[in-house]
Structure 1
Amino acid sequence: MGHADGDQETALAYQRAVLPDVSRTFALTIPELPASLELAVGNAYLLCRIADTIEDDPAVENDLRRELHAELISVLEQNRCARSFADRASTALGDATSTSELNLVQDMPRVVAIYRQLSAAQRVAISTCVAKMCQGMPEYQHTEKAGGLDDVCELDRYCYHVAGVVGELLTELFCEHSDAIDANRPQLFALAASFGQGLQLTNIIKDVWDDQARGYCWLPRDIFNAQGYDLDRLAPDHDRKRFRAGIEQLVGIAHGHLQNALHYTLLIPRSEPGIRRFCLWAIGLALLTLRRVQANPDYVSPDDVKVSRRAVAMVILCTRLASGSDRALRALFRLAAQGLPRAPMDLSAMALSSSRAAS
Structure 2
Amino acid sequence: MNGTHATVADAIGQLSDDQLQAQLLEGVSRTFALTIPQLPQALYKAVANAYLLCRIVDTIEDEVALTSEQKRAFCRDFEAVVKGRADAASFSRRLAPLLSQQTIPAEHELIRCVPRVIAITHSLDQPQIDALAECVEIMAKGMADFQDKDLSAGLANLDEMDRYCYYVAGVVGEMLTKLFCHYSPEIAKNRDTMMKLAVSFGQGLQMTNILKDVWDDHQRGVSWLPRDIFAAYGYDLAQLSPQNNNAAFRAAYGEVVGVAHGHLRNALEYTMLIPSHETGMREFCLWALGMAVLTLRKINGNLAFTQSSQAKITRRSVKATIAASRLARRCNFLLKLLFNLAGIGLPAPKAPLLAAPNRTDNQLDA
Q: Bin the TM-score by the shorter chain.
A: over 0.9
Contact 1:164 1:196 in 2 (8 A): yes
Offset of residue 342 of structure 1: 2.9
CA–CA distance in structure 2, aligned partners of residues 299 and 106 of structure 1: 38
- The alpha carbon displacement at 1:142 in A equals 6.2
For 1:191, what is the secondary structure of its paired residue?
helix
**2:22 counterpart residue number:** 16
Correspondences of 1:1-359 after superposition (within 5 Å):
10-141=16-147, 144-347=150-353, 350-351=354-355, 353-354=357-358, 356=360
* Unmatched runs of 5 consecutive residues or more in structure 2: 1-12
Deviation at 1:170, TM superposition (A): 0.4
CA-based RMSD: 1.7
Distance 2:96 2:246 in 1: 40
Structure 1: 4+ residue segments shifted above 4 A? 354-359
Q: For residues 343 and 331 of structure 1, do their structure 2 counterparts lie closer, same or farther at Cα, with a shift above 3 Å needed?
A: closer
The superposition leaves residues 99-152 of structure 1 with CA deviations (integer Å, 9 ceiling, x where unpaired) of 211221121111111111111111110010000001111221166212111000
Contact between 2:199 and 2:356, CA under 8 Å: does it hold in 1? no
Q: 1:344 Cα shift?
A: 2.5
State how far apart, in whole Å, the 2-side matches of 1:108 and 1:228 are. Answer: 48
Q: TM-score, normalised by structure 1?
A: 0.94
Give the AA of the match of 1:229.
Y
- Structure 2 Cα separation of the partners of residues 173 and 274 of structure 1: 14
Q: What is the one-letter code of the residue matched to 1:281?
A: W
The total of aligned residue pairs comes to 350
> Which deviations, in whole Å up to 9, do the C-alpha atoms of 1:306-337 show, x marking residues without a partner?
11111111111111011110100000100111
State percent identity of aligned pairs. 47
Unaligned regions of 5+ residues in structure 1, if any?
A: 1-6
CA distance in 1, matches of 2:118, 2:57: 13
The CA deviation at 1:94 is 2.4
Q: Which moved more, 1:12-21 or 1:268-277?
A: 12-21
3-state SS of paired residue (2:179): helix
The CA distance in 1 between the partners of 2:246 and 2:111, in whole Å, is 39
Judge conservation of contact 2:282–2:329 (CA < 8 Å) in 1: yes
Shift of 1:65: 0.7
In structure 2, how many angstroms separate the alpha carbons of the residues matched to 1:301 and 1:83? 40
In 1, Cα distance between equivalents of 2:356 and 2:131: 21
Amino acid in structure 2 at the alignment position of 1:226: A
Question: Using the alignment, how far apart are the partners of 1:113 and 1:323 within structure 2?
Answer: 35
The farther-off stretch of 264-273 and 104-113 is 104-113
Matched residue, 1:4: none
- Aligned residue for 2:4? none
Deviation for aligned residue 1:247: 1.3
1:346 positional shift: 3.8
Structure 2 counterpart SS, 1:144:
coil
